[in-house]
Chain A
Amino acid sequence: MKLTTRMLTAGAVLAFGAHAAAAATLDDVKAKGFVQCGVSQGLAGFGAPDDKGHYSGLDIDVCRAVAAAVFGDATKVKYTPLTAKERFTALQSGEIDVLSRNTTWTLNRDTAQGLNFAGVTYYDGQGFMVRKSLGVTSVKQLDGASICTETGTTTELNVADYFGTHNLKFNIVALGSNSEATAAYDSGRCDAYTTDASGLYSTRVKLANPDDHIILPEIVSKEPLGPAVRQGDSQWLNVVKWSLYAMIGAEEYGVTSANVDDMKANSKNPEVRRMLGVEGEFGAPMGLSNDWAYQIVKQVGNYGESFERNVGQGSPLKITRGQNAQWTDGGLLYSPPFR
């Protein structure tokens, strides 16, 4: 074990040492002509191959937005499907340029593991699903409920914490795997089923009668998912960060892929004019062309469009915006000003 740790450290030092010297990812990306994006091997709504063999999903749209910003062409992305174990190595070793694979932003990952998170694409967190027939509208009404979940994950602890602080009784039914827990809930063995909210929605699609179940509004843990880049390259970090902010900002200002041309020509809003490159020179400091954000919105769409298309009402998952609404609508999405 000690030896392994030492080897890992040696490897990490070697890898980071090499990268400190050649950190200009943006130049590398421009030279090779595409963004190499590390993605999930398959997660409904966030990144999975569709019938035609193209990747699609919320995480995938971040990759496409970065490509649109750098090249003005959202198709210039190559995807590397990664397992949870190899995702950080792939980023550290330079195999990929961006990691956009439902990765939770944590302190340790952001500092010790050689990553920099560029923002949050989806505020996930543990939620609860119940049958509509129970007539329950809040977790606080679930006093004494039996709750199905998977064993050995933090979900059990989160439930204990939440119910403990609210003085509620509960009865955990922990099952070996996620599919067992789902089946137990579906067969009526538990009143509620708990896992991360994004997982709740894709679980609901698999149930016998999806429409008979609702997801309660409370979220009892923090799982902010977002894209990450290598540490030590702030230029590239800025490109990825502001590609994401361009999607979020565009939604706030009402710029969509449909009206972006009209907005660019006619909008009087200075914020919109700066974002779309009509006024000022905001692309150059990042090493991008001035219409970078225009290209993102034109080709990928704003955050809301991407959300609804991949995980929201336009998809089978039908996830509600919740925490992922704009700050103006009571959510957590907030883009710094384009100025």
Chain B
Amino acid sequence: MSEPHVFTPTPPQPPPSSLVGPVAWIRQNLFNGWLNSLLTVVALYLLYLTVPPIIDWALLSATFSGTDRSACAGSDGACWTFIKVRWGQVLYGFYPEAERWRPNLVFFAGLAGLIGVVPKTRWRKWLAGFLLLPYPVAAFILLCGGVFGLPSVETARWGGLTVTLVVAVTGIVASFPIGVVLALGRRSNMPIVRSVCVVFIEVVRGVPLISVLFMSSVMLPLFLPEGVNFNKLLRALIGVTLFTAAYMAEVVRGGLQAIPKGQYEGAKALGLGYWQAMGFIILPQALKLVIPGIVNSFISLFKDTTLVAIIGIFDLLGIVQAASKDANWLGLETEGYAFAALMFWIFCFSMSRMSLRLERKLDTGHRR
């Protein structure tokens, strides 16, 4: 009697080599069809034309050493010595050197707070509360000084990345609640509230930020009595905040409109009042829906901060421009602009990554 036949399935064959491995990937993605092959070749050629010279300019032939212009003499590459020597100004503007620990402290405390609120810990609520209320006050006192034995540093001496971050963060933090209130006001049933909000939003959205800043710096002083001088930075802050708030309002309104009517009715059926319904039911859903739009506004605000340079405030870009006008460093605009672009990219990219994270964390369905 022979052994009963045991079925042994044929082991699965590895996929044909034309479908796996790097070669296959290249064939499938870069050379499938004559048009794509042509495009690939052209793209590679363009990359070959641009990338090596850029790397050569920015890194290989670049000068990093020295403390003055002569270090860069005879080199075809970038002169990063310029940025190195001006590093303090790029970060702090004309903030007195002995006091630079203050912006540092403000920045790192804020950063640590932001990182700290991400994981779910016992302290999270306290930390969030600290970031929202005492932190801005403490930051303001630290940066301005004049109390608790801190020497006063007037805002005219602030500059560089410090000003960029102060304008951006203040704009972001202050414009968000104003924007939410404006959005709610625009959808309100009360005619006066509604028309005030509509007029504000439409007027501000219909005017370029540049003209708002110009008005605040060129026209406003003419109408004020002599001796009354609004701080320039404060003027810019108010302008930027109100401007972003109008855009924010429209983004939030989009979210409010996306919430099904049933949610409003359900909230009412539960006996919730207007603020309760908005606070517990509608806004949490609406805001979550429009996170990409909100972050979009914030990133655009961050880049718009460079416009304060046109009213004579030296933000990151402004200080780089001013530095390249120093007779000792003439002709180094390219390095300055390239560096400023890199800094802006780092901050904007971090913001967009954070928004993605936040979206994933708050994702509780509704994905369409």
Q: Residue B8 at the A interface, CB < 8 A?
A: no
Whether the Cβ atoms of B331 and A205 lie closer than 8 Å is: yes
Cβ contacts under 8 Å, A106 to chain B: none
B326 beta carbon closer than 8 Å to chain A: yes
Whether the Cβ atoms of A82 and B327 lie closer than 8 Å is: no
Q: Are A93 and B224 in contact (CB under 8 A)?
A: yes
**Complex CA–CA separation, A42 to B317 (angstroms):** 13
Given contacts A49-B89, A94-B227, A202-B330, contact A11 B323 (CB under 8 A): no
Q: Please tell me if the beta carbons of B312 and A315 are within 8 angstroms of each other in the complex.
A: no
Please determine whether A206 and B328 come into contact, CB atoms closer than 8 angstroms. no
A22 closest partner in B (C-beta): B226
Chain B residues with a Cβ closer than 8 Å to the other chain, count: 38
Q: Which residues of A contact B311 (CB under 8 A)?
A: 83, 86
A317 within 8 A of B: yes
Centre residue among B69, B93, B219 by max chain A CB count within 10 A: B219
**A7, B219: Cβ atoms closer than 8 Å:** yes
> In the complex, what's the smallest C-beta–C-beta distance from B310 to chain A, in angstroms?
6
Verify if A51 is at the interface (C-beta below 8 Å from B): yes
Asked whether any CB of chain A lies closer than 8 Å to the CB of B85, the reply is yes
Task: Indicate if the CB atoms of B321 and A41 lie closer than 8 Å.
Answer: yes
Most B-side CB within 10 Å, residue of A15, A42, A43, A94: A42
Asked if B225 contacts A44 (CB within 8 A), the reply is no
Interface residues as binary, B202-227 with A (CB distance below 8 Å gives 1, 0 otherwise)? 00000000000010011101111111
**Residue B94 is within 8 A (CB to CB) of chain A in the complex:** yes
Contact check, A42 vs B321: say whether CB atoms are below 8 A apart. Answer: yes
Please, how many angstroms separate the alpha-carbon atoms of A51 and B227 in the complex?
A: 33
Q: Which residues of A contact B219 (CB under 8 A)?
A: 7-8, 11, 89
Chain A residues positioned under 8 Å from B331 (CB to CB): 205-206
Q: How far is the CA of A89 from the CA of B322 in the complex (A)?
A: 22
Q: Is B322 a contact partner of A81 (Cβ separation < 8 A)?
A: yes
How many inter-chain contacts with C-beta < 8 Å in the A-B complex?
108
A41-B327 contact in complex given A11-B219, A92-B222, C-beta closer than 8 Å: no
The complex places the Cα of A22 from the Cα of B227 at a distance, in Å, of 10
Which parts of A229-278 form the interface with B (CB within 8 Å)? none
Q: Are A85 and B325 in contact (CB under 8 A)?
A: no
- In angstroms, Cα B321 to Cα A17, docked, is 37
A202–B327 CB distance below 8 A: yes
Contact with A along B326-367 (1 / 0, CB 8 A): 111011010000000000000000000000000000000000
Which chain B residues border A139 with CB–CB below 8 Å?
Answer: none
Whether a CB of chain B sits under 8 angstroms from the CB of A213 is no
Closest to B86 in A: A51
CB distance from A36 to the nearest CB of B (A): 10
Are the CB atoms of B322 and A205 closer together than 8 Å?
A: no
| Distance A44 CA – B332 CA, assembled complex (angstroms) | 12
Alpha-carbon separation in the docked complex, A50 to B224 (Å): 34
Contact A80 B312 (CB under 8 A): yes
Q: How far is the CB of B321 from chain A (nearest CB, A)?
A: 6
Chain A proximity mask over B143-160: 1 for CB below 8 Å, otherwise 0: 000000000000010000
Q: For the complex, is B185 an interface residue (Cβ under 8 Å from A)?
A: no
Q: Is B88 an interface residue (CB 8 A)?
A: yes
Tell me whether A81 and B326 are in contact in the complex, defined as CB-CB below 8 angstroms, given that A89-B218, A93-B224 are known contacts: no
Q: Which chain B residues numbered 60 to 109 have a C-beta less than 8 Å away from chain A? A: 69, 85-86, 88-89, 93-94
Contacts of B326 in A (CB 8 A): 42, 44, 48-51
Nearest A residue to B332 via CB reads A206
A319 and B84 CA atoms in complex are apart in Å by 28
Of the candidates B214, B229, B314, B327, the one whose C-beta lies within 8 Å of that of A315 is B327
User: Chain A residues with Cβ under 8 A from B89's Cβ?
Assistant: 49, 53
Contacts of B224 in A (CB 8 A): 93
Contact B327 A205 (CB under 8 A): yes
- A89: chain B residues within 8 A (beta carbon): 217-219, 221-222
CB contact between B318 and one of A18, A41, A93 (< 8 Å): that residue: A41
Q: Evaluate contact between A83 and B310: CB separation under 8 angstroms.
A: yes
Q: Judge whether A301 is part of the interface by a CB distance below 8 angstroms.
A: no
Set of chain A residues within 8 Å of B322, measured between Cβ atoms: 41-42, 48-49, 81
- Interface positions, chain A 1-35, Cβ under 8 Å from B, are 7-8, 11-12, 14-15, 18-19, 22
A95 at the interface (CB under 8 A from B): yes
**Bound form: Cα–Cα A135–B314 in Å:** 44
Q: Which of A18, A44, A51, A95 contacts B330 (CB 8 A)?
A: A44
A42 in contact with B86 (CB, 8 Å) = no
Question: In the complex the two chains form, what is the Cα distance from A53 to B328 in whole Å?
Answer: 13
The reply to whether B314 and A81 contact each other, CB–CB distance below 8 Å, is yes
Please judge, given known A-B contacts A11-B223, A48-B325, A90-B221, whether A83 and B330 are in contact too, CB under 8 Å: no
Contact A86 B86 (CB under 8 A): no
Q: Please, which residues of chain A bring their CB within 8 A of the CB of B312? A: 41, 80-83, 86
Chain B positions within 8 Å of A43 at CB level: 325
Q: How far is the CA of A95 from the CA of B222 in the complex (A)?
A: 10
Residues from chain B with Cβ under 8 Å of A53 in the complex:
88-89, 93-94
A119 interface residue (CB < 8 Å to B): no
Question: Are A51's CB and B85's CB within 8 A?
Answer: yes
Task: Take A7-B219, A48-B322, A81-B322 as given contacts and tell me if A316 and B226 are in contact as well, using a CB distance cutoff of 8 Å.
Answer: no
Task: Other than A44-B330, A89-B221, A206-B331, give 14 A-B pairs with Cβ distance below 8 A.
Answer: A15-B226, A41-B321, A42-B322, A42-B323, A48-B322, A48-B326, A48-B327, A49-B89, A53-B94, A78-B156, A83-B310, A85-B218, A90-B221, A316-B327
B contacts, CB < 8 Å to A = 69, 85-86, 88-89, 93-94, 156, 214, 217-219, 221-227, 229, 309-312, 314, 318-319, 321-328, 330-331, 333
A residues whose Cβ falls under 8 Å from a Cβ of B: 7-8, 11-12, 14-15, 18-19, 22, 41-45, 48-51, 53, 78-83, 85-86, 89-90, 92-95, 179, 202, 205-206, 310-311, 315-317
16 sampled A-B residue pairs with Cβ under 8 A: A11-B222, A14-B222, A15-B222, A15-B226, A41-B325, A42-B323, A42-B325, A43-B325, A48-B323, A53-B89, A86-B311, A205-B330, A206-B331, A311-B327, A315-B327, A316-B330
